[in-house]
Amino acid sequence: MNILKLKPAFKDYLWGGQILKEKYGKDTNLAILAESWEVSGHPDGPSTILNKEYAGMTLSEYLDQKDNKPLGKLNLDLNELPVLVKFIDAFSDLSIQVHPNDEYSLKHEGDNGKTEMWYILEAKPGSKIYYGTKKAMSKSEFKQSIDNDTILEKLNHVEVKKGDVIFVEAGTIHAIGAGIVICEIQQNSNITYRLYDFNRKDAQGNLRELHVDKAIAVSTLTPLSTDFKAQGQEIKYKNHTRQLLVTCLYFTTYKIEVCGEFDLNVSPDHFKAIVVISGEVSLETQKEKINLTKGESCFIDAGTSDIKVSGSGVYLTITL
């Protein structure tokens, strides 16, 4: 049973900034860093293993070599890591977008759908996200708002703060606003339909592609709750606290605050991914010790037991 420290894949989308390099330890020559794909088996940006005899392998290659057994007994029917975990730095607004569900995406894209959640790591005062519509609309009304450039008037524009937990179910119209840094946990998919992109141009001077017809087909056009709270209450133990942020069909995410040493046993049924969002955390077994600082991540095989967790920090733990 292994604990694998991971190196992320990096993305330089035009709306990104410098915070992930300056405050989260990301080492890249990219001039702009929009996203780091921390725990990823997706071919568009796989994570790479940094330790043990598996160093240099992608996480997907490792899982293939092990016949996906590290995913856990209840996940053996999967042919891939089912989640993708990212850090995202929005220096400017992202496009207004929507993701399809599994049924639509498998039929039209040959890929998974994309339900996701965001944990707000940083938000400048007054920072906002676009999230759902202000009122119910028909598809024809929605298309008209896109055609006549009034779409932003139809969407909820909601201020957010550090610690907010935002569940973005497939079909939710959304955009991360400028000044926000998040940890995103999502299905293993890279399918995004853009509805509106503020008429921005890419590095070659071209307007980025929109996907209006597909977006309208999958969008939820009724208002959604903007009570951005964790699903569970914080539970305090001797040397750590534990809080359920989101559980759904596609992932379960907890926030763990470490203030000492405690034991961790990973169920044989499920893997765990860990992403440290503040401080320092160590994971130690009889065979190895992995040190993780803010911005670092690891994958833990299902069935890994007798792990000593210690340090002073906060991490998110993700499983299915």
Catalytic residues: 194
Average pLDDT of the chain, as a whole number = 96
Q: What is the pLDDT of residues 29-84, one digit of tens each?
A: 999 999 999 999 999 999 999 999 999 999 999 999 999 999 999 999 998 999 99
C-alpha separations of 230 from 116, 182, 252, 253, 277 in Å: 14, 15, 12, 10, 16
Q: Which residues contact 292 (CB under 8 A, 6 or more apart)?
A: 5, 274, 276, 280, 281, 282, 283, 298, 315
The whole-angstrom separation of Cα 38 and Cα 121 is 15
Full DSSP string of 152-181:
HHHEEEEE--TT-EEEE-TT--EEPPTTEE
The whole-angstrom separation of Cα 84 and Cα 318 is 10
The whole-angstrom separation of Cα 173 and Cα 132 is 5
pLDDT of residue 29: 96
The whole-angstrom separation of Cα 288 and Cα 291 is 10
Name the H helices within the chain: 19-23, 59-65, 102-108, 139-147, 151-154, 212-218
Full DSSP string of 111-123:
S----EEEEEEEE
Domains of the chain and any CATH numbers: 3-218 (2.60.120.10), 235-319 (2.60.120.10)
The length of the chain in residues reads 320
Q: What is the pLDDT of residues 171-210, one digit of tens each?
A: 999 999 999 999 999 999 999 999 999 988 777 888 889 9
Q: What is the pTM of this model?
A: 0.96
pLDDT of residue 206: 86
C-alpha separations of 8 from 38, 63, 97, 160, 275 in Å: 4, 16, 24, 27, 11
The whole-angstrom separation of Cα 145 and Cα 127 is 24
Enter the tokens of residue 117.
Answer: 């959640």
- Point out which residues pair with 88 in neighbouring strands: 35, 182
Q: What is the pLDDT of residues 276-303, one digit of tens each?
A: 999 999 999 998 999 999 999 999 999 9
